[in-house]
Amino acid sequence: MEEKGTVSRNFIEQIIDKDLEEGKYETICTRFPPEPNGYLHIGHAKSILLNYGLAKKYGGKFNLRFDDTNPTKEKTEFVDSILADVKWLGADFEDRLYFASNYFDQMYEAAVKLIKKGKAFVCDLTADEIREYRGTLTEPGKESPYRNRSVEENLELFENMKNGMYEDGTKVLRAKIDMASPNINMRDPVIYRVAHMTHHNTGDKWCIYPMYDFAHPIEDAIEGVTHSICTLEFEDHRPLYDWVVREVGYEHPPKQIEFAKLYLTNVVTGKRYIKKLVEQGIVDGWDDPRLVTIAALKRRGFTPESIQMFVDLCGISKSQSSVDYAMLEYCIREDLKLKRPRMMAVLDPVKLIIDNYPADQIEYLDVEMNLENPELGMRKVPFGRELYIDREDFMENPPKKYFRLFPGNEVRLMGAYFVKCVSFEKDETGKVTEIHCTYDPETKCGSGFTGRKVKGTIHWVAAKTAVHAQVRLYENIIDEEKGVYNEDGSLNLNPNSLTVLDDCLLEPALADAKAYDSFQFVRQGYFCVDAKDSKEGALVFNRIVSLKSSFKLPKAEG
Ligand code: ATP
Ligand code: MG
């Protein structure tokens, strides 16, 4: 643990400090409780790293628990992806991987206990009637006519529910609390329902399933969770959480603490909406690099470190707010800046021929991997008479302040020589097909040449040795200007969210790049080998992020 006072504590840490000081708990235990009904997204990453981070900081434990009490939506595909994501983020749950469905017996026992205490009853009202009886924010509810059934009758009926004697929706078990409570969650909430459904873990063993508000506190209590951290929408459920823990009678009651969800601007984070994009085929799966699922961020080339940095910068709070996507981009740039080599890649190639360079000569130039980090060493980059440069680095009629190639102008080829444009050729459509230059052998990079200066430096690759690749550029999938939704409620998609460049040329050192390897392509941004579509000899790169940004780090608080 850090020294007190050196770092300001967030509000959850202050609660934990107090609980430990008062001896409420000896050590802490947190958990991440995903429902396996979709892939995890950046918001979940925040929750995972928060819970794991607290456990680590206080020398406590962190559990991963699948909240799989709802048999309709859950799929093993999601269980597998969630496991992979949590591990990738580095949140180590050791041997504490749990499934809420493994507690169904204990939950059933807890319900029986409540019935015996006169704190739960079987109710025959329909779902609509229950809603009607519940009252409103301004009016109290009405008691169910079944509320005063005897303990014996309730026990029998509940057992019959378990034994499959009733149709779905015909009977529920409800907690007997207070129909006049100002908190609607306390008005005799349903805690068990009949549902003849097959569960991915327990199969057909159960035809009654516990409701979230009943199951969750029991799951926490069984595992010895001390601080059950959830998002703000559960604040009004806390009295019920506490009621369940108290009435079922757990010796070491867990404590629920709420914090604000993470929202990103111009990004779809809701599971529901991501699902829509996937199911409608608008994206190529849950890991489409335009999404902010953890799988997508990983595929795009984000690192666990960059996500940790992002989560730390966001901080935690009790008030809802959105964070700019640019902050996430800032974090990955910062993380990769010194770690990754800076390679040359030409995304939109046009040929450049050095008329006075020997036709068959290939020369290997020594180029630094990363000018800001000498530890990454040097590499050999082949140079020859025929090169490719990016089309935008040449202009026939340049505007003022264009310092790249144009007829008569001299530029530096990065890590190589000065070249001067002597002529160029166009096809019938006016497209430039070849640029001719001469080079000055005296200007070789690192030769000690101190002659004339040039204002422009451009990147290039040698034609003979270039490696072919597809490069994908991304923009936000939601149009920033117009908002996330159209008037009819459909998503307002950005038609330019994906640009595929099929004829990119890279320096040969990139030929062996493997899935998830990432690099800076000088002047173009950071790129990562796509793990899904890249094959040996047919590389596909995703642009993680461009190099420039208007994003400024917010002032540190406190
Ligand atoms: P969604 O709202 O995207 O469908 P969910 O909350 O239903 O997600 P769960 O699997 O129930 O998904 O969430 C697991 C945990 O992650 C919960 O503790 C939840 O509070 C937390 N969580 C979900 N979304 C966010 C978010 N945007 N920011 C922080 N924590 C989140
Ligand atoms: Mg949920």
Start-to-end CA distance of the chain, whole Å, equals 20
C-beta separation of 208 from 159 below 8 A = no
Transcribe 228-281 into DSSP letters: EEEEGGGGGGHHHHHHHHHHHT-SS--EEEEEPPEEETTS---HHHHHHHHHTT
CA proximity to 89, closest of 297, 290, 268, 265: 297
Indicate the helix (H) or strand (E) that contains 196. Answer: none
What would the pLDDT profile of 460-476 be if each residue is shown by its tens digit?
999 999 999 999 999 98
Residue in this structure with the two tokens 């950046």, named with its chain if needed:
42
Residue nearest to atom 27 of ligand 1 (CA): 43
Q: Cβ(523) to ligand 1 under 6 A?
A: no
Q: What is the edge-to-edge ordering of all strands in the sheet holding 172-175? A: 120-123, 172-175, 190-194, 208-210
Residue 6: pLDDT above 70? no
Residue 199 DSSP code = B
pLDDT at 1: 45
Neighbours of 518 (CB within 10 A): 22
Atom number of ligand 1 nearest to Cα 46: 29
**How far apart, in whole angstroms, are the C-alpha atoms of residue 64 and residue 71?**
19
CA angle 17, 93, 261 (to 5 degrees): 60
> Residue 414 burial by CB count (10 A; 0-12/13-18/19+): exposed, middle or buried?
middle
Our separate counts of H helices and E strands in the chain read 12, 27
DSSP lists the bridge partners of residue 415 as none
Cα of 271 from ligand 2 centre, angstroms = 9
Cα of 442 from ligand 1 centre, angstroms = 62
| Range 270-281 average pLDDT | 88
C-beta separation of 496 from 510 below 8 A = no
**How far apart, in whole angstroms, are the C-alpha atoms of residue 477 and residue 277?**
10
Beta strand 227-231 pairing with 255-259: parallel
pLDDT at 503: 97
Residue 483: pLDDT above 80? no
DSSP lists the bridge partners of residue 30 as 62
Cα of 37 from ligand 2 centre, angstroms = 9
Ligand nearest to the CA of 79: 1
Transcribe 338-375 into DSSP letters: TTS-EE-EESSEEEEEETTS-TT-EEEEEEES-TT-GG
Give φ, ψ of 490 to 5 degrees: -75, 160
pLDDT at 267: 85
Most ligand 1 atoms within 8 A of CB, residue of 32, 35, 44 to mutate: 44
What percentage of the chain carries pLDDT values higher than 90? 86
pLDDT at 457: 96
pLDDT at 3: 47
Q: Cβ(230) to ligand 1 under 6 A?
A: yes
Residue nearest to atom 2 of ligand 1 (CA): 270
pLDDT at 320: 85
Confidence class for position 499, pLDDT limits 50, 70, 90? very high
Q: What is the CA radius of gyration of the chain?
A: 31
Atom number of ligand 1 nearest to Cα 270: 3
C-beta separation of 362 from 445 below 8 A = no
What would the pLDDT profile of 145-183 be if each residue is shown by its tens digit?
999 999 999 999 999 999 999 999 999 999 999 999 999
| Range 94-107 average pLDDT | 98
Residue 335: pLDDT above 60? yes
Q: Cβ(231) to ligand 1 under 6 A?
A: yes
Cα of 108 from ligand 2 centre, angstroms = 22
b vs e for 428-444, b when ≥16 Cβ sit within 10 Å of the residue's Cβ? Answer: eeeeeeebbbebeeebb
Cα of 35 from ligand 2 centre, angstroms = 6
pLDDT at 82: 97
Neighbours of 187 (CB within 10 A): 22
Q: Is 555 helix (H, G, I), strand (E, B) or coil?
A: coil
CA angle 535, 537, 540 (to 5 degrees): 50
Cα of 44 from ligand 1 centre, angstroms = 6
CA angle 69, 71, 76 (to 5 degrees): 95
